[in-house]
Amino acid sequence: MLMHAAASSMSGSSKNPISVYLQLTLVCSAAVWILIIWSGHLNMGYGLVIPAIMWCPALAALSTSRLFGWELSSLGWRWPQPKYLAAAYFVPLAYASVAYGAVWALQLGDWNSEFVSSVADGFGLKGFPTWASFTLAITCLATGGVMQNVSMTLGEEIGWRGFLVPELANRMSYTKTSLLSGVIWAAWHSPLLLFADYNNVGTNRWYALCCFSFTCISMSFMLAWFRLKSDSLWPAVLFHASHNVFFPIVFDNLTRNTGHTLMYTTVFGAFPACTSGLFALYFWSRRDEIGKLPMKARARITSFAPARAKHAHPPLSASVGNGESVRPLG
């Protein structure tokens, strides 16, 4: 409903690219939502529905671009400067470390030494010290695991940050772009959180939805900044993959539940919401930097064009920031 309302508010016209994109995303996603909600399990179908749902935003973005005759290069395929990729990888690790470090320091959860031992044993290097095997295992997870996750986060980011964020930024400031794309992104996740077992930690679903939505919106401020600053969707893809590995796979397992720990940890808890919010505030404070770099903009047209048509990419207009100007999302 939120996604439909957002689409309608843009113009109410089926020829509005944002409206078309959101409606296509809703239709594609609903087909998978129904299956998951029917079964009640996110991992139904041997887990194959997870990449399917994550690629629905990409399918909608590619279809919308095709309908409007836009070149796919406008989605941000260019390779960015390495510094943006490095920052995108380490920022989720940073706010996750702060969140879980606070949980351990305040004794709201304990260090899970059993997980460390099981990972070390499962790594298969007999005779290696536990700490050495565990370090190697985490290193492989932080590299190979993130690269593997990129294949799924790419599907979301082609849609949310490759298509939606630049389109919103053409019409509103960085702040509004980040906020609206974050609300839409959170709403897209909500059916599985409320009606299936996406919130598999067992906390109250409305509490989980509030924390998770706040985290999504906070991440959207960072992801939009990387997308617009680097003129590339790849930092957002890597950021998203890094987040998906370090939170549920590394830090959640390193933390032992001592009673109410799950209220503060996981992507459905309070501490990740708070730390991601603080990091988002830092990125928001640097919003004026976005307008200093030119960014390719796909041609704006008011009606559907033949799919084979090609259009020039005019430069951005005024700077983004302070809620003032136009131009240039999860």
Q: Which two tokens stand for residue 111?
A: 């260090």
Say what the pLDDT of residue 1 is.
Answer: 53
Q: Mean pLDDT of all residues in the chain?
A: 86
Nearest to 260 by CA among 194, 209, 202: 202
Residue 23: pLDDT band (50, 70, 90) is very high
175 within 8 A of 287, measured Cβ to Cβ: yes
167 within 8 A of 20, measured Cβ to Cβ: no
Nearest to 75 by CA among 17, 127, 123, 132: 17
Query: Residues 231-258: pLDDT tens digits?
Result: 999 999 999 999 999 999 999 999 999 9
First vs last Cα of the chain: how many Å apart? Answer: 18
Q: What is the pTM of this model?
A: 0.85
Question: What is the rounded distance in angstroms from the CA atom of residue 88 to the CA atom of residue 239?
Answer: 5
Q: Which two tokens stand for residue 186?
A: 């959170």
Query: Residues 281-320: pLDDT tens digits?
Result: 999 999 999 875 444 444 443 333 444 333 333 333 333 3
Residue 259's φ and ψ, nearest 5 degrees, are: 140, -65
Question: What is the rounded distance in angstroms from the CA atom of residue 81 to the CA atom of residue 94?
Answer: 21
